[in-house]
Structure 1
Amino acid sequence: MNRILKICCLTPVFNDWESFQILLNRLEFLLKDHDLELRVFAINDGSTEQQPFLETKLEVITVHLKLNIGHQRAIAVGLQYIYNEVTDYDYVVVMDSDGEDRPEDIPALIASAEREHSKKIVFAQRKKRQESVWFKTGYFFYKNLFHFLTGQRISFGNFSSIPKNLLGKVVHQHNIWNHYSGGIIQSRIPYTQVELDRGKRYKGVSKMNFNGLILHGLSSIAVYFDFLSLRILRVSLYGIAICFISVLYILYQKLFTDNAIPGWASSLILIISGIILQLFSVTLIVLLLQLSSRKNISEPKADIYRSFIDSITKANDEAN
C-alpha cells in the first residue's frame, strides 16, 4: 500500500483573495483523486484588503506580514517559516495563488520528485503560456539575455516541489530573497524540470506587467553578480585590446608607411583613446564592487522570517 504523502502548499497572496478561494476549491477537488494530505500556507504580503472568511475543509495557515515585501521575499519568508515551525511533511510545493500554477499539476511535480528519490527540487518548465504577445516577447528577450549574461538557461518560475531534506539548503541561500528560482540555480542545489502548461488566471488581471517583468528579470540576473562581473571584465578587456590595436595600426600607417592618412586620423585616435579610458573605468569599478562584496562575509541565517511576521491565523479565524 502506497503511503500518503504530506504536502505543504506555499503561496503568496496580495489582495487576491477571490482567486485564493478558487485555489482552495481546486485543491480540495484534487484530494478526491489523489492520496495526498495538504496543508496550505498563505503568505499575506501586506494586503490592503482584509482576508475574508474562507470556505474550505483544508487546513489553511495564513502568515500575515507587517508590510508588502514582494512576491519573491514572501516566498522566502514562507519557506523559512515552514522549515522552522513545521515538522510533519514530505514536500513543500511553491505556487502562485492566481491559477497560473495549476493545482492539478501538483501530482506530476511530486511524482517526478519521487522518481528522483527526493534528491532534487522539481520545477515546472512551461510548454504553453497564456500571456499576451507583448509579454511573451518580453519574456523571450529576458530568457536570452539571462543566458547571455549568466551562461545559464531559465525556463521556469516559482512553481516547484522541494523535498523536506533539501529545504534546509534552500532557506540558507541569501539569493532566494531576490529571486527564488534564480537563487536555486546559482546555489547548485540539484534540480530537474517537468514540462507543464501554464494555467489561466482565475480572476482579475495579472500584476506581472511589462515593467514588473523587467524588475523580475533584473532581480534574477543580480543573483549572478560574481559571474556577471567576470563577464563584464572579459568584455571590457577585449574592447580595450581592440581599441589599443586600432590605435597602433593607425600610428603605424601614419609613421612607417607612405599610405595617405586622412586628416581625421588624429581625431579618431583621440576618440578611441576616450573609449579605452571609459572601458578601463568600467572594468576598475566592477572589480572594486566585486572585491568589496566578497570581503563582507555574513553567516547564513534561516530565521530572518520572524522580523517580517505580524501575526498568524488559521482558516476562518478572525484575520488581522
Structure 2
Amino acid sequence: MLLPTAKTLVLMPYYEDTRACQLLLQALRAQLGPDCFVLFVDDCSPQQPLTASALADAGLPGRILRLRRNAGHQQALALGLQYLAPHLQPQQQLVLMDSDGEDAPEAIPGLLAQLSQSAGAIDAVVAARGRRRERWTFVACYRAYQLLFRLSTGRVLDFGNFMVLSASGAQALAARPSLPVHMAASLLASDLRLGRHTVDRAQRYAGVSKMNLSALVGHGLRAIRVFKTRVLQRLRHAALLLAGLAAVLAWLSTGQSGSGMALFGFWGCSALALLCVLLYGLLAWKLASSYPQPDMAMVAATIDVPAPAAGQRRPE
C-alpha cells in the first residue's frame, strides 16, 4: 500500500453522517491546508455511504475503506490504525478523531505542535477533556463513571479518541490486542509516553448523535475491561482486607463492651467480602474471552481520492 508523503495524516471512522463530515473536511482544510492525507473507515453505512466527492470537494487527498459489515466505532478505528501504522514514515504524524465535529479541528494545530516540540520525548498527545456542553444529567453520570473507573483500575481516563500519535507511537498502539475494545483505554494501559492538551468538547456540525445511553454504558464498561487484570487484583485485595476486618470484629464481639456494634460490623464486612468474591468469579468468567481482532478481509472496497492538480480551483 502506497501512502503519500504528507507529514500529517488524519484517521476517522464514519457512519451515516454525510453533512457533518463535509463540514468537518472543510474545517480540516482550513486548519491543515492541502498537505495532509485523510483516511476514512466507512463502517458499512447503508443509506449515506461516504463518497469520493466529499474529499474532492474539500480539496483534500485521501482514501476510503468501506467495510462489508458494521463493526462498531472502536473496531473501525482499530482497523484503520492497523491499516496505516506499518506504512508510516518516522517524520509523519497521525491524528485520530471523530467525523462529526465534536472533536474540534481548531485544536489540531496545538496537539501537533506539542508533539513536535517534544522532540521525541513523548509518543502521543491526547485531547484531555475540558468543558462539555451537555445536560446536567449526562455530566453527573459521566462523573460517576469516572469515579467507578478510578476505583476499579486505579487510573484516570480523562480523554477519548481525539489524539495525535507519532509514527512509532501509532505502530506500538496498533499492536495492542485490546485496541478494538477501547482505543483510549488501550493507550492509557500501554507504556507509551503521553502528553495532555486540554480541549473543550465542540458541538456536532449537523445531525444528532447515534450513541444512545446503553451504547455509552457499554463503551464505558469496555474501557474497564482493558484493565481486567488490574480490576481482578483490586477485587482480591478488597476481599482479603474485608475478611481480615471481619475476623477482627468477630474477635471483638466476644468481649463485654460494644459487642453488638462489633457483631454488626462483622456481618457487614463478611457480606462485602463475599460480594467481592462473587464479583471476582463473575468478572473472571466474563472477561476470560480473548479480544476481538479486526480483519482486513472486512474491507469490501478501497476508494482513492488523489490530491487536486496544481492550480486546480477548489470548489466553494
With structure 2 as the length reference, what TM-score do the two structures score? 0.82
Cα separation, partners in 2 of 1:285 and 1:106, compared to 1, 3 Å: same
For residue 198 of structure 2, give the secondary structure of its aligned residue in structure 1: strand
- The residue number in structure 2 matching 1:225 is 228
Distance 1:157 1:277 in 2: 34
Distance across 1 between alignment mates of 2:26 and 2:272: 62
> Any conservation in 2 of the 1:45–1:71 contact (CA below 8 Å)?
yes
Change (3 A) 1:261 1:48: same
SS at match of 1:75: helix
Give matches, 1:5-154, under 5 Å: 6-32=7-33, 37-49=35-47, 50-52=49-51, 53-54=53-54, 55-85=57-87, 87=89, 90-118=92-120, 119-154=122-157
Tell me how far apart the structure 2 counterparts of residues 60 and 283 of structure 1 sit (CA, whole Å). Answer: 47
1:83–1:305 Cα change, 3 Å? farther
Work out whether 1:194 is the aligned partner of 2:192. Answer: no
Letter in 2 for 1:278: L
Structure 1 position 108, deviation (Å)? 0.6
- Say which is worse superposed, 113-122 or 6-15, in terms of deviation: 113-122
In structure 1, distance between residues paired with 2:272 and 2:130: 45
2:298 pairs with 1:308: yes
Q: Deviations over 1:103-160 (max 9, x none)?
A: 1211111000011114320001122212222222221111122112111112111110
Distance in 1 of aligned mates of 2:156 and 2:258: 50
Q: Name 1:158's counterpart in structure 2.
A: 161
Partners of 2:283 and 2:32 in 1: CA distance: 54
Task: Specify whether residues 244 and 101 from structure 1 end up closer, same or farther in structure 2 by C-alpha distance, changes over 3 A only.
Answer: same
Counterpart Cα distance in 2 of 1:280 and 1:19: 45
Assess if the C-alpha contact under 8 Å between 1:247 and 1:272 holds in 2. no
> How far apart are residue 284 of structure 1 and its match?
6.8
- Whichever of the two has the greater Rg, that structure is 1
Distance of aligned partners of 1:269 and 1:191 in 2 relative to their CA distance in 1, 3 Å threshold:
closer
Q: Aligned partners of 1:8 and 1:269: how far apart in 2?
A: 59
Aligned mates of 1:226, 1:131 — CA distance in 2: 33
Relative to the length of structure 1, the TM-score reads 0.81
Q: Secondary structure at the match of 2:74?
A: helix
2:237 to 231, 234, 237: 234
The 5 A counterparts of 1:250-269 are 250=253, 252-253=254-255
- Pair 1:89–1:124, CA change in 2 (3 A): same
Matched-pair identity in %: 26
Closer/same/farther in 2, CA of residues 106 and 287 from structure 1, 3 Å limit = closer
Paired residues, what number?
A: 297
- Structure 2 CA distance for aligned equivalents of residues 67 and 139 of structure 1: 30
Structure 1 residues 276 and 180: CA distance shift in structure 2, 3 A? closer
Asked if 2 retains the 8 angstrom alpha-carbon contact of 1:236 and 1:283, the reply is no
Structure 1 unaligned residues grouped into runs of 5+: none
Q: CA RMSD in A?
A: 3.4
Give the 3-state SS of the residue equivalent to 1:124 in structure 2.
strand
Q: Secondary structure at the match of 1:64?
A: strand
Q: CA deviation at 1:169?
A: 0.7
Matched-pair contact (CA < 8 Å) for 1:179–1:220:
yes
Do the aligned partners of residues 315 and 107 (structure 1) sit closer, same or farther apart at CA in structure 2, a change above 3 Å counting? Answer: same
Distance of 2:11 and 2:258 partners within structure 1: 72
Change (3 A) 1:314 1:98: same
Residue 183, structure 1, aligned to residue 186, structure 2: yes
- Amino acid in structure 2 at the alignment position of 1:51: L
Distance in 2, Cα, partners of 1:277 & 1:196: 41
Report how far residue 97 of structure 1 moved.
0.5
Quick one: distance in 2 between partners of 1:277 and 1:125?
36
Change (3 A) 1:5 1:231: same
* Separation in structure 1 between the aligned mates of residue 154 and residue 295 of structure 2, nearest angstrom: 31
